[in-house]
Each structure stands twice: as C-alpha cells, then as structure tokens.
Amino acid sequence: MESSLVKENPLLLPLNQEKTIYDGFITVQERDFRMRIHLPPDHQLKQAKLHCCWQLKHLLRGYECIVKQRLQHSADLVSFILELKTVLEVALKSHPECRSMPPPQYYSQLISEMEALGWDKLLFIDTEFRTLRLKADDSSGRQHVLTVQLKSKHPAEPPECSADLPIPLAITWTPQSTLEQLHSQFLLVLESLADFWAVLDEIDRETWILEPEKPSRADTMRRIAIGNNVSIKVEVDPRHPKMLPECCLLGAEHVVTPLRSKLNANMHSWNPDSSVLHNLRDVLEIEFPSPATHEKSSFSVECGICYSYRLEAAIPDQVCNDPRCGQPFHQACLYEWLRALPSSRQSFSIVFGECPYCSKPITVKMAAQKS
Ligand SMILES: [Zn+2]
Ligand SMILES: [Zn+2]
C-alpha cells in the first residue's frame, strides 16, 4: 500500500517506521497544500486524523462532513487521497481567490509599497488584499479613483488597472515597478486629459444636460438643451477636446434646419483657443439656457404617449414637426403607437403616420434595439 501511495502522491511520505504518520503536500490544480495524516497503530483509516495547513482548512470549510465520510469509506490511504483531491478541486472552484493565494512576501511587499505611496491614497482594499482603490487628485482638484487588481506574483506580474477615463488606460509595468510609480503614471494620464474635462465641466456647469443623466468622467457625449424640444448632441474627442466636436441637432425640423445652416456656415470660424461652449454659442448664434436662467423642467417634457421622461435610458427625442404642436415622444413609444394604427404605412424601417396630438404627418424610424 505504502509503495503505491508514494507512487500516486510522491509528496506524501511516512515520517516514522510504523508508518502511522504521513507528511507532505497534496497538489491540486498546480497548488501545493501542506498536510499530515495520523493513522492509529492498526492503520485503520476510519480513525485517522487529518492536520491541514490554514489554507487547506479555509478551503475545506463546509466540506468537513464529506471529508469525514470519505475517510470512513475509503479502502486505503491512496484512494482517500484521490477522493480528497476531487473534493479540493470542487472547493477551489467555489473559492476562486484561493486558486492562487500569494506567498507571504506578497504582503510585506504590498505594505512597503503602500508606505512609499502614502496610506492616505488608499480608499479601499478588499479582504484578500488583492483589489485596491487608490485616490488621485488632478491639478484642477478633480478627484479620480484608480482600481488596481494585484496578481499573486506581484510585482513580477503586472497588475490590472482600471479607471473612469474616456481613453484606454495604458500602464507601463516592469517587475521592478511599484504602486507609487503606477500612481505617478496615472497622474500623468489625468493631466493629459485636463483640457478634455475642463471643456466638459464648463458645459456641465453652464448648460442643461439632457443626456447622460449622470455623466461620468469617461463620458464623451453631452446632449445640451437649446430650447423646448431642441437640443444638440456633441461628442468631444478626448485627444483633441478643443476642436469642433461631432454635432447632431435634434428637434422639430423648423427649429433645427436654421440652426444646422448656421452651424455649417460658421464652423470655419471655430477657434481652438476658445472653449467648446463659447465656440458653440458663436457658431450657432444662440445663448444656451443655463441653470442660472432656466428650470430644467422646461426642457424635460414627458413623452406624449407614455407620459414619462425616461424610458429605460432614452429621453423623448422624436418631436412632431408641426410648429404649433412640437410634442415630443420616445422613439420606441411612437414606433409602437404608429405601427398599431391601420392608417399608418411602413417602408423599410420607417413608419409613416399621424401625430397622436395634432394628426399632422409624422414619421419614425424603427427603434434600434429594444432590450
Ligand atoms: Zn414614451
Ligand atoms: Zn403633432
């Protein structure tokens, strides 16, 4: 029996002549767990006692009964070890964090790196000491968060980093790199985006933003209210934030058409040294309603079909073109409404029908995708 045990599991060896104590490692999914088995003098497995390292104990928590039962029913030590391996494989799957538990020097390394960086930068650390959230303030006082997921072979293996940014976060990492260097690299990335955020902060501060509802630092799009049911959607390029952004005017045709002509006629006078908001004002020859001059409720008119403003994430951006009506609808609501009417007709993805409010002709494109 002992010889086959050695063959099956070369890391588990008898410690005494009586062969009642086995010590060594059990290997599961390329991880070694220290364990020791004490057998009674008659070598009866039923009476055997298992001593596990703390990782193994942690892993087997909740599986004690199964292990005990396997000990009772296994014919010999070899088959018990094989059973135990199966149990451990299952247990590892439900404890993904145990799969690659870091060695002790991981923690001392982490502590010395945090000491160099400054503990005041640490916003959060998880119970496994693997995920850190680090605070970073840019030179304009905006607060940012860098999420760092350390690998068990840190710092030999580069950590996974993420942040609320409009561009992919590219980090250079060598096995000699530290969290302090990582943090400095992040600060440089933040500085490179300072102009982009300055442009958007000004727009957010001085206009009414209809979309996104709560812009994040990664959002490059803003839909700015111009007037009742008229808005402009701008897409600011994070790498060239002061250039003319991609613009899309939304609203009833009779209001949008003159604005579109002004945009086309004046876009050559776009001045990259001035802010995007000032340029937009000059090019469109308008004043944007701002929180100082208007209530937001004057722009967030509900959909004329479902009577709500937000439908999932969408706002009512389909507007009746009749100047006396101008009723806004959600695209999905209007599409469903018109499709249900026998008087409507459909050509490809466009439905032609009548405005539910003023009965003037109205068209709507099929809603892109409904979740
Ligand atoms: Zn609706
Ligand atoms: Zn209408």
Nearest ligand to the C-alpha atom of residue 310 = 1
- The CATH number for 128's domain is 3.10.110.10
Contact 285, 274 (CB under 8 A): no
The pLDDT-based confidence of 32 (bands split at 50, 70, 90) is confident
Using CA atoms, how far apart are residues 91 and 365, in angstroms rounded to an integer? 52
Alpha-carbon span 371 to 349, nearest angstrom:
18
Output the CA 78–ligand 2 centroid distance in Å: 82
pLDDT in tens, 200-259: 999 999 999 988 989 999 999 999 999 877 899 999 999 999 999 999 998 888 889 999
Residues 355, 320 share a domain: yes
Average pLDDT over residues 17-29: 87
Residue 108 CA to ligand 1 centre (angstroms): 57
* Ligand 1 midpoint to CA 305 (Å): 5
Tell me the CA–centroid distance for residue 336 and ligand 1, in Å: 10
Give the closest ligand to the alpha carbon of residue 308. Answer: 1
State in Å: Cα 339 to ligand 1 middle.
Answer: 14
Residue 369 has pLDDT above 60, yes or no: no
Write out pLDDT tens, residues 80-119.
888 998 898 888 887 766 556 778 889 999 999 999 999 9
C-alpha torsion 112→117→118→123, nearest 10:
-100
| 177 and 221 inside one domain | no
The CATH number covering residue 277 comes to 3.10.110.20
Contacts of residue 280, defined as CB under 8 A and 6 or more positions apart, other chains included, come to 224, 232, 234, 247, 288
d(CA 254, ligand 2 centre) in Å: 13
Report yes or no on 371 lying in a domain.
no
Please give the distance, rounded to the nearest whole angstrom, from the Cα atom of residue 359 to the centre of ligand 2.
6
Q: Which ligand places an atom closest to the C-alpha of 354?
A: 2
If you average pLDDT over residues 129-142, what whole number do you get?
Answer: 95
Q: Which ligand approaches the C-alpha of residue 311 most closely?
A: 1
Sign of CA dihedral 334, 336, 341, 346: positive
Q: Which ligand gives the minimal distance to the CA of 324?
A: 2
The per-residue pLDDT for 99 is: 59
- End position of a domain, from candidates 269, 297, 325: 297
Ligand closest to 358 (CA) is 2
> Average pLDDT in the 69-80 region?
87
- Do residues 158 and 220 share a domain? no
Mean pLDDT, rounded, for 129-135: 94
| CA 371 to ligand 2 center in whole angstroms | 28
Q: How confident is the model at residue 326 (pLDDT cuts 50, 70, 90)?
A: confident
What value does the mean pLDDT of the chain take? 88
Give 351: exposed, middle or buried? Use CB within 10 Å, 0-12, 13-18, 19+: buried
Q: Is the pLDDT of residue 5 over 50?
A: no
Same domain, 60 and 113: no
pLDDT digits (tens, 9 = 90+) for 263-303: 999 999 999 999 999 999 999 999 999 988 888 777 777 89
Distance 314 CA to ligand 1 centre (A): 9
Domain that holds residue 112: 104-192
- Is 22 within a domain? yes
How close is the Cα of 370 to the center of ligand 2, in Å? Answer: 24
Pair 29, 93 in one domain: yes
Q: 1-5, 290-294, 323-327, 365-369: which has the minimum mean pLDDT?
A: 1-5
Nearest partner of 338 among 314, 357, 311, judged by Cα: 357
CA of 317 from ligand 1 middle (Å) equals: 10
Per the structure, how many domains does the chain have?
A: 4
288 and 207 part of one domain: yes
Regarding whether 355 and 275 lie in a shared domain, the answer is no
In the chain the first and final C-alpha atoms are separated, in Å, by: 62
Would you place residue 313 in the very low, low, confident or very high pLDDT band (cuts 50, 70, 90)? confident
The DSSP result for 122-160, as a single string, is EEEE-TTS-EEEEEEE-TT--EEEEEEE--TTTTTSPPE
pLDDT of residue 96: 66
Final residue in a domain of this structure, among 98, 120, 140: 98
Compute, in angstroms, the gap from residue 333 CA to the centroid of ligand 2: 14
Q: Is residue 360 part of a domain?
A: yes
Tell me what percent of the residues of the chain surpass a pLDDT of 90: 52
Tell me the two tokens of residue 92: 């590892």
Domain final position from 73, 98, 123 = 98
Output the pTM of the full model. 0.67
| 205 C-alpha to ligand 1 centroid (Å) | 28
Give the number of whichever ligand sits closest to the CA of residue 304.
Answer: 1
Beta bridge partners of 26: 33
Note whether residue 304 is domain-resident.
Answer: no
Rounded distance from Cα 356 to ligand 2 centre (Å):
7
Average of per-residue pLDDT across 341-351: 90
| Residue 138, both tokens | 């840019």
- 303 part of a folded domain: no
If you measure from the C-alpha of residue 212 to the centroid of ligand 1, how many angstroms do you get, rounded to a whole number?
17
- Give pLDDT, residue 221: 96
pLDDT band (50, 70, 90) for residue 44:
confident
Beta bridge partners of 146: 134, 163
293 within domain boundaries: yes
Q: Please tell me whether residues 225 and 254 are part of one structural domain.
A: yes
Identify which ligand lies nearest to the alpha carbon of 361.
2
312 CA to centre of ligand 1 in angstroms = 10
Is 302 within the bounds of a domain? no
> What one-character-per-residue DSSP string does 164-198 give?
S-SS-------TT--HHHHHHHHHHHHHHTHHHHH
Nearest ligand by distance to the CA of 252: 2
Higher-scoring residue by pLDDT: 100, 65:
65
